[in-house]
DNA sequence: TCCGTCCGTCGAAGCGCTTCGATGATCAGG
DNA sequence: CCTGATCATCGAAGCGCTTCGACGGACGGA
């Protein structure tokens, strides 16, 4: 029952077979008679045997670990990141893999390090930007990988992301269906738009592309005062406005209060839809419909794709996750 | 410059020395002449050599990896968790260690697995509860570890946490110094109190223990409507109340609005202090003073303690991090 | 000058596993 | 009854590293 220092030889001895036989039982790479297999499995359980990870990786050239590189920039949405990380770990464990956590500030050198030391079999790169210095290194290393987000040149890479354009479209459509003629998208602060053109711009395009309403996009900082001001300006400049999509998580609460101050009754003569986590949309009064960033689904998809690549199977170069609108 | 498949033998050949010499140069475990060392280091750089992690761990019985087990329960404060995780990774890298991410739902069996497979040298357990089933396993395995939080029986374990009692005291003192005679602590929802008695109760004790004011503690859910109601009831039941500490991150915004509705002018005739992350306290109007949960400091301390234990050095059984009040 | 030290380096053993080729045993076909 | 194929299992050879003991050369003391 213990487990400290139990080797495959101990298991083999107890089951009365050769070490290689134990290995084959455990890996299933050669056929073994059921009786022998049972004896081996019993010995494994009795002794609490777990193969030594280092020895295994040395002999089999497979570490059983994948790396996940998370961004650490300011303004990253921490809860989503965390959901992502835990989703990835959960899915990886289903495939009997562990997850090594890295931060983006290790940069390309970090990728080179983990690749050369064979400490991981593959990696997942989160929050890839349009011009990302890690992408070139990644391509050169030839380490199996999956990216969350789309770099400018995705040639030969496996990328996964939320279909942000569809998300924008879904929000616009929701508002139009509620009878809104003038609608607006309240986005993130200018800084975010400047950095990740891909991501924020695709929402904008989807939102504007839904031609049935007069639509505008307004960037917006996320502190209480700025939100108040932005909403006031918005309502002044578009007095006919009756529908608003908010793609700025921390601002949502402030937006609701600003609308209340302006005499808008949300859910009656005015409609609001959120792009963001459930908690945010649930915590307002009234609760709001929302399109969430499906962090867990993204993580699972990414891990699953990576596993397939490790097994030498095909995966699509590009995968877009459909946004889901939750009514409340 | 490449790196794929470069072994210590390649480095040795290029430097014209034996493999063992390269090993000693890299580890510093035997004295090597400066000239030889230089030649070796040059060869390492030229070839982009990184030792094979598996081989190293097999031969040296040191994996160079520590595990971090994160809770995944509902109601966990995700951003803080994330800060913690990234802080731990950053600090671990300074010690040339990597971090393996595990989730608490692997439970005791997960601990046994990583211990037996020697995939990590030690581990950090986050968010340990008063009665935590992992603690007993941990003790039995004898794997070097550091806990964040205090279990009921901490005998022989290394624990690190914020000094929550001091945090409560600091908040009460802040309010008293502003001249408040009646003060209250608005805490988390009942569920949180029920689960982690240690953590929430220590804040309460610190808050109440500061005898200079009439103090009360009110639990509070975190949706807009409940907060409104709770604040209203609180103000009704204690009409003389002029000071409030809020230990409930998502509720802060709603509290501010409820106070405004009740005609309280925060910062003038009424004082509010927050226990929680900076962003929350900065985003309100006016900005609020706050005591933050110093996730990064906690993570760094935990990792540092673990490194010392791995090196066979002494560490204190129990470390309480002083809360820091930020005025705004 | 000779001996004992110490320093820098080498070679070999071994960490625990996977995997390849070999070896009996079993069985069907002629 | 013998041959060739098939199946279950074994033994040995590494995987790339660390570490131990050994060894030659330089150097200081007698």
Look at strands B98-103 and B271-275 and give their pairing: unpaired
Find all residues with CB under 8 Å of A128, minimum gap 6, and list them: A134, A135, A147, A148, A149, A150, A151, A159
| Nearest residue of chain A to residue B52 (CA atoms) | A117
Under an 8 A CB cutoff, do B68 and A100 touch? no
- Residue of A187, A28, A101 lying closest to B91 (CA atoms): A101
CB B325 within 8 A of CB B275: no
Q: Can you tell me the distance from the alpha carbon of B26 to that of B263, in angstroms, rounded to the nearest whole number?
A: 68
Of A77, A85, A128, A81, give the one whose Cα is nearest residue A248. Answer: A77
With a CB cutoff of 8 Å and minimum separation 6, the contacts of B11 are: B19, B22, B40, B43, B44, B47, B49
Question: Phi and psi dihedrals of B68, rounded to 5?
Answer: -130, 120
Find tokens 């808050």 and name the residue.
Answer: B207
Distance CA A290, CA A273 (A): 5
Place of tokens 């975010």: A192
CA distances in angstroms from B49 to B15, B22, B52, listed in the order given: 13, 11, 9
Q: How far is A260 from chain B (nearest CA, A)?
A: 12
Q: Strand D nucleotides below 7 A of a protein CB?
A: 7-12, 14-21
Fold of B164-291: Rossmann fold (3.40.50)
Domain with CATH 3.40.50.2300 in chain A: 65-157+296-326, 164-291
Strand, helix or coil for residue B291: strand
Contact A79, A133 (CB under 8 A): no
What are the tokens at B100? 């393996």
B113 touches strand C (CB under 7 A): no
CA of A59 to C1' of D14 (A): 8
Contact B246, B274 (CB under 8 A): yes
Instruction: State pLDDT tens for residues B274-314.
Output: 998 887 788 788 889 999 888 899 999 999 999 999 999 99
Q: What is the pLDDT of residue B75?
A: 59
Q: Is B45 on the interface with A (CB under 8 A)?
A: no
| Terminal Cα-to-Cα distance of chain A (whole angstroms) | 51
Burial (CB count <10 Å: 0-12, 13-18, 19+), residue B28: exposed
Distance CA A198, CA B178 (A): 49
Q: Over the stretch B175-190, which tens digit does the pLDDT of each residue have?
A: 999 999 899 999 887 7
The verdict on domain A65-157+296-326 having CATH code 3.90.420.10 is: no
B116/A49 touch (CB, cutoff 8 Å), yes or no: yes
Interchain CB distance below 8 Å, B89 and A78: no
Query: Could you tell me the pLDDT band of residue B211, with boundaries at 50, 70 and 90?
Result: confident
Residue closest to B97 by CA, chosen among B157, B127, B37, B56:
B56
pLDDT at residue number A66: 98
pLDDT digits (tens, 9 = 90+) for B222-239: 888 889 999 999 999 999
Alpha helices in chain A (DSSP H): 8-15, 19-27, 34-47, 53-60, 78-94, 107-116, 133-141, 164-177, 190-195, 197-209, 224-237, 252-261, 278-283, 295-310
Neighbours of A265 (CB within 10 A): 10
Alpha helices per DSSP H over B210-277: 224-237, 252-261
Between the CA of A34 and the C1' of C16, what is the distance in angstroms?
A: 25
Shortest CB distance from A101 goes to which of B101, B112, B250?
B101
Q: Work out the angle at residue B171's Cα, subtended by the Cα atoms of residues B167 and B176, and round it to the nearest 5 degrees.
A: 145
List the single residue in A with minimal CA-CA distance to B82: A82
Nearest to A48 among B116, B119, B284 (CB): B116
Q: Which residues contact A87 (CB under 8 A, 6 or more apart)?
A: A295, A296, A297, A298, A299, A300
Which residues on neighbouring strands pair with residue A217, listed in sequence order?
Answer: A185
Residues 6+ apart with CB under 8 A from A112: A137, A141, B3, B48, B50
pLDDT computed for residue A3 by the predictor: 42
Q: List the structure tokens of B177.
A: 């110094």
Instruction: Chain A: give the shortest CA distance to residue B225, in Å.
Output: 7
C-alpha A7/C-alpha A19 separation (Å) is 9
Tell me, yes or no, if B254 comes closer than 8 A to chain A by beta carbon. Answer: yes
The torsion angle over the Cα atoms of residues B83, B86, B89 and B91, rounded to 10 degrees, is -60
Q: Is A290 exposed, middle or buried (0-12, 13-18, 19+ CB in 10 A)?
A: buried
| Mean predicted confidence (pLDDT) in B82-110 | 96
Q: Which two tokens stand for residue A221?
A: 């900082």
Give start and end residues of each alpha helix (H) in chain B: 8-15, 19-27, 34-47, 53-60, 78-94, 107-116, 133-141, 164-177, 190-195, 197-209, 224-237, 252-261, 278-283, 295-310
- Per the CB < 8 A criterion, the answer to whether A126 and A69 are in contact is yes
Query: Where is pLDDT greater, at B245 or B191?
Result: B245
pLDDT of residue B210: 77
Confidence band (pLDDT; 50, 70, 90) for B1?
Answer: very low
Interface touch A222/B283, C-beta < 8 Å: yes
Is the pLDDT at B3 greater than 80, yes or no? no
* Residues of each domain in chain A carrying CATH 1.10.260.40: 8-51
Q: What pLDDT does residue A89 have?
A: 97
pLDDT in tens, A63-109: 999 999 998 776 567 878 888 999 999 999 999 999 999 999 999 99
Report whether CATH 1.10.260.40 matches the domain A8-51: yes
CA of A324 to nearest chain B CA: how many angstroms apart?
22
Sign of CA dihedral A208, A214, A217, A223: negative
Q: pLDDT below 70 — which residues of chain A?
A: 1-4, 74-76, 193-197
Report the pLDDT value the prediction gives residue A195, as an integer from 0 to 100: 65
Query: Would you state the pLDDT for residue B2?
Result: 46
């Amino acid at each position: 029952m213990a487990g400290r220092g139990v080797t495959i030889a101990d298991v083999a001895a107890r089951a009365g077979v050769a070490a290689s036989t134990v290995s084959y039982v455990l890996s299933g790479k050669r056929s073994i008679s059921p009786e022998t297999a049972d004896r081996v499995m019993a010995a494994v359980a009795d002794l609490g045997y777990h193969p030594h990870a280092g020895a295994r990786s040395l002999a089999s050239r497979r570490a059983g670990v994948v790396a996940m590189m998370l961004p650490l920039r300011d303004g990253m949405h921490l809860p989503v990141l965390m959901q992502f990380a835990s989703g990835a770990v959960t899915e990886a464990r289903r495939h009997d893999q562990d997850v090594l956590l890295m931060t983006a500030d290790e940069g390309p050198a970090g990728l080179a390090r983990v690749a050369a030391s064979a400490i991981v079999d593959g990696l997942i790169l989160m929050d890839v930007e349009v011009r990302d210095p890690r992408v070139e290194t990644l391509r050169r290393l030839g380490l199996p990988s999956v990216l969350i987000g789309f770099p400018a040149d995705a040639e030969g890479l496996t990328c996964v992301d939320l279909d942000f354009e569809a998300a924008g479209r879904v929000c616009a459509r929701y508002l139009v269906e509620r009878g809104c003629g003038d609608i607006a998208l309240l986005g993130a602060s200018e800084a975010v738009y400047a950095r990740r053109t891909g991501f924020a711009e695709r929402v904008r395009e989807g939102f504007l592309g839904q031609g049935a309403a007069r639509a505008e996009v307004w960037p917006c900082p996320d502190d209480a005062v700025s939100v108040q001001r932005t909403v006031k300006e918005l309502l002044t400049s578009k007095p006919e406005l009756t529908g608003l999509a908010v793609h700025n998580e921390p601002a949502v609460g402030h937006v609701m209060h600003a609308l209340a101050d302006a005499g808008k009754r949300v859910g009656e003569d005015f409609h609001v839809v959120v792009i963001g986590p459930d908690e945010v949309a649930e915590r307002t009064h009234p609760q709001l419909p929302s399109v969430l960033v499906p962090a867990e689904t993204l993580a699972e998809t990414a891990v699953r794709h990576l596993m397939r690549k490790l097994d030498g199977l095909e995966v699509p170069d590009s995968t877009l996750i459909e946004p889901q609108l939750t009514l409340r």
